[in-house]
Amino acid sequence: MTAEISTLDVFRPAKLLPKGSISLGAIVEVEDGEQGRTFFLAPVGAGIELTGPGGDGFLSVVTPVSPVGKAVLGKRVGDTFEVMVQDEAREWTITYVG
């Protein structure tokens, strides 16, 4: 845990990669036609759920080594990807990157 805190202490999110592609530090909203989810792509802290600014919504922390993190890296708004979540195939479309 101390190593993770040290990693976060020096972490500075990068600006979006060229053409708005997703990189470490991005907030990513996805939807599957029925419901939406919001992820924060961080270097550590996978599985932690954060409250959005002003208490608006929740963000799930994913890392670049997690299935969702691997799937969204380099993608852009409008891209669709498939990932296994809790042994279930999910197909999501990226609706926002910030």
Domains of the chain in start order, with CATH, are 2-97 (3.10.50.30)
pLDDT below 70 — which residues of the chain? 1-19
Pick from 17, 28, 24: nearest CA to 79: 28
Pick from 51, 52, 58: nearest CA to 36: 58
Distance CA 45, CA 70 (A): 15
